Structure 1
């Protein structure tokens, strides 16, 4: 109880709205703070444009951090199109629920996953939820999932600047950091530029920009060929002042890994693509140095 409440004649009988007006935190807010206090670093992966490979980037960041010995949670808040279960070959998995707490699905020794995809009865099930329902579910995925003590929570958001990324950044607070994904196409860069502005408006920090599908890795010769122009991510970095984390080439084996659900970084650790991911996670790992 706050000092104001202690001196109030209505203490003990006021409504939640009255308590909020007096600065008294609700039980839900206290529970959220308790959960977040056990998570050192919050990394939100987002993009203003769809189809840029954002979920693939999020999954590989999480797997790379786990391979480096960090305790990692991967949260998929793409309510209408959850991709993480397929990317990690976890389709058909169902989390256990005990005492109103949800146990995340274990992917590896140091990596736990939660996604709306685990809760849908079939792949054909359409999620028809309005904003308030989505906001409530996302809050549950953060507050009521037994994440435990984590070094990193990596959150995969749907494209755009709507309810999902806004809710995540607001719930995680100003200490959250965004990784913004683009492709070399200027059409994508235009939308991603708005994402960077969005992150600043909600009080979070842009950790950096990733340019995905930057060049094509030939499966025969192993060389990288620029099918599209590269450098758009770096140019955007110079324009906005957001750090440039690096490029990930378009690699057919990385695409196959996503379709078949195997860990590309484990199977091809010496590839140029794997090395590019290692470069990108270096500044993220440095947060926990």
Structure 2
């Protein structure tokens, strides 16, 4: 290989931070010339104003400079033509028609809905930390904030206000936070527009667009932060994703656990499978070692027992009890997931153990066709 060939190989391996694929595979590398110890590298971005432009340019510069024999690098940045963008979107879809939902029954992506009967049980905080914990284990994770009226996922993950998905023609690339690809209605609201007052048809359309128009790429797990209760969004997702798995979140108190049971029962009516219950805000350990059950005790076990009582359904285990933790609450307030910032916190440890349990007990492949091609 010539020196220019080695530079091209190094540059082609640079990953696009939004698409999570090498820029060489995305046809973003252009002419590369070497004169003496100076390399001139040409690349193109997908769109004007690409939010990842500075990072891509820096990574390309560093990759070229790492090649032995190169002392100086100049990176020339352009933008794809409309025809090149069209070819890129077709490549990314891998033959699927536009606006086709890629998470159907034959998909290898595991779809998990995180639901609750009522609000205020810490469902979104749990979902955000669970997503990050799964990503830390090396899984490719996507997160849909389907709580349209009470969206909070962007703030919990520290995604800056005003951050929007990148649009490549009719594809939307979700922002990535802590290796989790995320989309929320909060990313589409204009400045000063802090509330959403929509009814059934608009809610259904929004959720459908999140699942069809947002390009998540190949995922191992797609988490969906559900709104509390059993309203329009729960019904729409039941229609769109009848094969999804459901994780029911409750607090120990009967006021929450009684309602949480209903969310699991409604999920079953659409064909979804309840894989477990998580009890949040369980006992708080005081400095002297005693445990204060501020919200009572036993709610999670009560929900699991009630959902296991159906003879036609599989047993529903209590997968985790997440202790009350000021550190977990603070992490949500400042947008830094506790599983990253304070991994030794009791709540962080419980969530990490839950993530390991979910990852270990993956979705089975029995009865589903696999996308295999014989050459």
Does residue 186 in structure 1 map to residue 254 in structure 2?
yes
Does residue 70 in structure 1 map to residue 139 in structure 2?
yes
1:18 corresponds in structure 2 to none
- Using a 3 Å threshold, how does the CA distance of structure 1 residues 50 and 28 change in structure 2: closer, same or farther? farther
Deviation digits for residues 44-64 of structure 1 (CA, Å, limit 9, x no counterpart): 001111110110111111011
Aligned ranges for residues 45-84 of structure 1 at < 5 Å?
45-84=114-153
CA–CA distance in structure 2, aligned partners of residues 143 and 225 of structure 1: 45
Q: Give the unaligned 5+ runs of structure 1.
A: 1-26
Aligned ranges for residues 113-192 of structure 1 at < 5 Å?
113-122=182-191, 124-174=193-243, 176-192=244-260
Instruction: Give the CA RMSD over aligned residues.
Output: 2.2
- Using a 3 Å threshold, how does the CA distance of structure 1 residues 141 and 77 change in structure 2: closer, same or farther? same
Does residue 253 in structure 1 map to residue 327 in structure 2?
yes
CA contact (8 A) 1:224 1:249 kept: no
TM-score for the superposition, normalised by structure 2 = 0.65
1:271 corresponds in structure 2 to 345
- The structure richer in helix per residue is 1
Q: Give the unaligned 5+ runs of structure 2.
A: 1-95, 309-315, 364-375
3-state SS, counterpart of residue 227 of structure 1: coil
TM-score for the superposition, normalised by structure 1 = 0.83
CA–CA distance in structure 2, aligned partners of residues 265 and 183 of structure 1: 20
- Higher RCO (CA-CA < 8 Å; seq separation 6+): 1
- Using a 3 Å threshold, how does the CA distance of structure 1 residues 36 and 104 change in structure 2: closer, same or farther? farther
- Using a 3 Å threshold, how does the CA distance of structure 1 residues 69 and 167 change in structure 2: closer, same or farther? same
1:238 corresponds in structure 2 to 305
- Using a 3 Å threshold, how does the CA distance of structure 1 residues 97 and 223 change in structure 2: closer, same or farther? farther
- Using a 3 Å threshold, how does the CA distance of structure 1 residues 112 and 94 change in structure 2: closer, same or farther? same
Deviation digits for residues 63-119 of structure 1 (CA, Å, limit 9, x no counterpart): 1100100000011011111100110111311111122111100112x3111000111
CA-CA distance at 1:206 after TM superposition: 0.3
Tell me how many residue pairs correspond in the alignment.
Answer: 260
2:354 corresponds in structure 1 to 280
Choose 1 or 2 for highest CA Rg: 2
3-state SS, counterpart of residue 269 of structure 1: coil
CA contact (8 A) 1:38 1:150 kept: no
CA–CA distance in structure 2, aligned partners of residues 35 and 99 of structure 1: 24
CA-CA distance at 1:237 after TM superposition: 1.1
Runs of 4+ in 1 over 6 A off after TM superposition: 27-30
Correspondence for 2:173 among 95, 98, 103:
103
CA contact (8 A) 1:76 1:157 kept: yes
